[in-house]
Amino acid sequence: MVAPRVYQAMTQPLVGHLDPFFFQTAEEVRTLLGYVFSTANTFNMAVSGTGTSGMEAAIANFVEPGTKVALLTNGFFADRIGEMARRHGGTVVRLARDWGTPYDYDEVREFIRRERPQVVGFVQAETSTGMFNQAKPICDAAGEVDALVIADCVTSLGGMPVLVDENGIDIAYSCSQKGLGCPPGLAPITVGARALERRKQRKTPVDCFYVDLELLDAYYTGRKYHHTASATMLYALREGLAIVAEEGLEARWERHRKNHEAFVAGVEALGMKMLVPEGHRLWTLNTPCLPAGVDDARVRGYLLEKYSMETAGGFGPLAGKILRIGTMGYSSTAENVALILEALKDALAKAS
Ligand SMILES: Cc1ncc(COP(=O)(O)O)c(C=O)c1O
C-alpha cells in the first residue's frame, strides 16, 4: 500500500523536467538514498522506470561484450539478471540452487575463485521464494578476485538491512513500490567509487542510451537534458524516503521483523509451514506452503473477493505450492497481520 503522505506529495503542482525545483528534489532524493542504502556513495539516483530499469542500468553499465558474469541463483529474479547480462554481451556462469534453498557460502567462494569473473550478480531479497541471501560472504569472495558485485535489493530496501558499505556491494538497485511505500515508476540505484572507476575502463559504449548512468548523472545534476523524468514520481519518492528517515532505518527494520514474525507464528498456528528455513526469511514477503489439497487460486480468489486482500501465488517450480504475502513498507503493521491471519483462516476452511 502507498503511504497517504506519498499520495499527498503527488498532488503538488507539476514542474518541468529542467526546473530548478526539479533538480532540488533530485538532489534531496540523492542524499536520502545514501541514508536508505546505508552508504557514503554520492552516485545515487532514481532511474525512470520500475525495478527492472534499475536492473537494466546495473547490467548495461557494468557488462559489455566479453565480460564474465558469475550469477548466483536460487530464484526467478536472479535468472533475469543472467538473461540481461547475456543480452548485453556478457558470458554468464551460474551457481544454481533450487528455488528457496540457501547458498552454501563456502561453495560460493570456491565458485568465484574458480571462475574469476569480472562481475558477480545476486538477489539479496528473492521475491519469487521469500529468501534473504547474505551479501557479505558474496562480496568478500568477489573482492578476492577483484570482481564487482551487483545486488538486487528490490524487496529489501526500506524493509531489511541492505547495508551497501558494510557489505561491500558495488552496485545496488531497488524499486519505489515495495519497502519505500510509493507507486511503481522509479528505480533507486547506488554505485560505489570502485565501480565508477571500472566503468571508465569500458572498451565499448554503454549499449542502451536510456539507462547510461553517465548521461543520467549529467541530467540529474542539471548539466544536460537526457529525458523527461516525472517530477510527480520524484515528489513521491522524496516523501517515501523522508518517511523512512523520520522513522529511522533500525526502527523500520525492527517493525518489519516483528510483523513478519507475528505472521509466521500465526500461519504456523493455522498448520502451515514456511517454505524458507528460519534465519533465511524475508521480513517483507512471506511464503507459507499451502496445505496438501488446498487450491491456491481458490484461496487467493476468496481473499480478494471477500476481504479485498491481494496476495500472490507461487510460480515456476513453486506454482500451486506457496502463497506470497507482502508485509512491506506502509503495509507492515500489526493490524494488517491480524487481518490477513483471520482472513486466511477463513479462506483455508472454505478451500479445504
Ligand atoms: C527481486 C526482484 N527483482 C526485480 C524485480 C523487477 O521489478 P519491477 O517489476 O518493478 O520491474 C522484482 C519485481 O517484483 C523483484 O521482486
Quick check: 351 and 292 in contact, CB under 8 A?
no
Is residue 183 lining ligand 1, measured as CB closer than 6 Å? no
Residue 166's φ and ψ, nearest 5 degrees, are -60, -35
Does domain 4-247 sit in CATH 3.30.70.260? Answer: no
> For the segment 270-322, what is each residue's pLDDT rounded down to a tens digit?
999 999 999 999 999 999 999 999 999 999 999 999 999 999 999 999 999 99
Task: State in Å: Cα 170 to ligand 1 middle.
Answer: 19
Task: State in Å: Cα 51 to ligand 1 middle.
Answer: 5
- At residue 351, the pLDDT reads 85
Question: What is the average pLDDT value for the chain, to the nearest integer?
Answer: 97
pLDDT of 207 above 80: yes
Is residue 102 lining ligand 1, measured as CB closer than 6 Å? no
What is the third-level CATH fold of 249-351? Aspartate Aminotransferase, domain 1 (3.90.1150)
Between CA 237 and CA 45, with CA 154 as vertex, the angle to 5 degrees is 45
Nearest CA to ligand 1 atom 14: 127
Is residue 156 lining ligand 1, measured as CB closer than 6 Å? no
Split at pLDDT 50, 70, 90, the class of 166 is very high
- At residue 340, the pLDDT reads 98
Q: Percent helix, strand, coil in the chain (nearest 5)?
A: 45, 15, 40
Inter-residue long-range contacts of 4-11, CB under 8 Å, 24+ positions, other chains counted: 5/239, 5/243, 6/181, 6/182, 6/183, 6/236, 6/239, 6/240, 6/243, 8/239, 9/235, 9/236, 9/238, 9/239, 10/183, 10/232, 10/233, 10/235, 10/236
Average pLDDT estimate for 94-108:
97
Task: State in Å: Cα 223 to ligand 1 middle.
Answer: 30
pLDDT of 352 above 80: no
pLDDT of 338 above 90: yes
Element (H, E) at 172: strand 171-173
> For the segment 252-267, what is each residue's pLDDT rounded down to a tens digit?
999 999 999 999 999 9
Is residue 284 lining ligand 1, measured as CB closer than 6 Å? no
Task: State in Å: Cα 275 to ligand 1 middle.
Answer: 20
Between CA 110 and CA 162, with CA 75 as vertex, the angle to 5 degrees is 75
In terms of pTM, does the model score above 0.95? yes
Shortest CA distance to 241 belongs to which of 21, 14, 45? 45
All 3 cell numbers of residue 179? 519497502
pLDDT of 250 above 90: yes
Nearest CA to ligand 1 atom 9: 51
* End-to-end C-alpha distance for the chain, whole angstroms: 29
Give percent of the chain with pLDDT exceeding 70.
Answer: 100
SS3 181: coil
Q: Where are the domains of the chain?
A: 4-247, 249-351
Nearest CA to ligand 1 atom 10: 51
CA distance 75 to 286: 15
> For the segment 5-28, what is each residue's pLDDT rounded down to a tens digit?
999 999 999 999 999 999 999 999
Q: Bridge-partner residues for 323, per DSSP?
A: 313
Average pLDDT estimate for 67-93:
98
Nearest CA to ligand 1 atom 8: 51
Where are any strands of DSSP class E within 28-140? 43-48, 68-73, 91-96, 119-123, 125-126, 131-132
pLDDT of 331 above 80: yes
- At residue 263, the pLDDT reads 98
